[in-house]
Amino acid sequence: MTIKNKWIIALVAIGVIGFIIVEGMVNPKLKAEQAEYEAEQQYPMTHDFAALQKYQSPYMGDFSNLSHLNQALPLHDQLNGYQLYPETFTAQVNYSLDTSEMEAEDLEQILVYNATANFVLIDNLKQVVYQFEDTSHALSREAAQQWAGTELTLLQDPVQWDSVVRSKLEKPAKVQEAFSQIVDN
């Protein structure tokens, strides 16, 4: 066997071993990490707010931006369309979900989180209406800003977001208080 053939065999063996390592160990680990990340995105306390920065916009009329923002927020798997009301700067987000299918506290936490994210990232949005199969909830920018206790644009920084919004949504009593303060209906 010549040296050239030995090199070819060695390179093929290295390639096969590399393929086995990548397909048998690296890719499954990456897939597991991605699945874990996706699961974390379903809950306000583990959601990656920094990933939403690309959806910051001065205008609520940018439908594509608004829809992508809400598709990146918790409860996105239940989305069922949108309706914009530019004359009142209102966005209606429709869900194919009966609210009795969720714990009230979890739903309230998600709605406060999602509405606040919409107000923080879309400058001229004044109200968000979450329409479910059995009910609807309207949340206003003014009430969200009053609840946050700061100018909402300051919350675009993920550190500020965590210290203000997430800290106020950690305890069930605070979630109920936040929901009752921000909801208009």
SS3 call for 85: strand
**Predicted pLDDT of residue 178:** 83
- Domain residues for the domain of 33 are 1-40
Residues 34 and 71 in one domain: no
Residues 77 and 33 in one domain: no
Measured in Å, how far apart are the chain's first and last C-alpha atoms? 84
How far apart (Å, rounded) are the C-alpha atoms in residues 170 and 184? 22
**Predicted pLDDT of residue 54:** 94
* Strands of the sheet with 90-95, listed across from one edge: 79-85, 90-95, 127-131, 136-140
Residues 149 and 81 in one domain: yes
Residues 80 and 137 in one domain: yes
Q: What is the DSSP letter of 53?
A: G
pLDDT tens digits, one per residue of 127-144 = 999 999 999 999 999 999
Instruction: Kindly indicate the confidence band of residue 180, based on its pLDDT and cuts at 50, 70 and 90.
Output: confident
**What is the rounded average pLDDT of the residues 173-179?**
84
Counting the structural domains of the chain, the total is: 2
Residues 138 and 67 in one domain: yes
**What is the rounded average pLDDT of the residues 13-19?**
88
Q: Name residue 131's beta-bridge partners.
A: 94, 136
**Predicted pLDDT of residue 176:** 85
Residues 157 and 109 in one domain: yes
HSE-up of residue 88 (Cα within 13 Å, Cβ side): 12
Residues 84 and 162 in one domain: yes
Residues 67 and 110 in one domain: yes
Residues 110 and 30 in one domain: no
| Cβ neighbour number for residue 145 with a 10 Å cutoff | 18
Average pLDDT, the chain: 90
**Predicted pLDDT of residue 21:** 85
Q: Are 180 and 147 in contact (CB under 8 A)?
A: no
**Predicted pLDDT of residue 185:** 58
Residues 115 and 167 in one domain: yes
**Predicted pLDDT of residue 73:** 95
**pTM for this one?**
0.84
Q: Residue 39: pLDDT above 80?
A: no
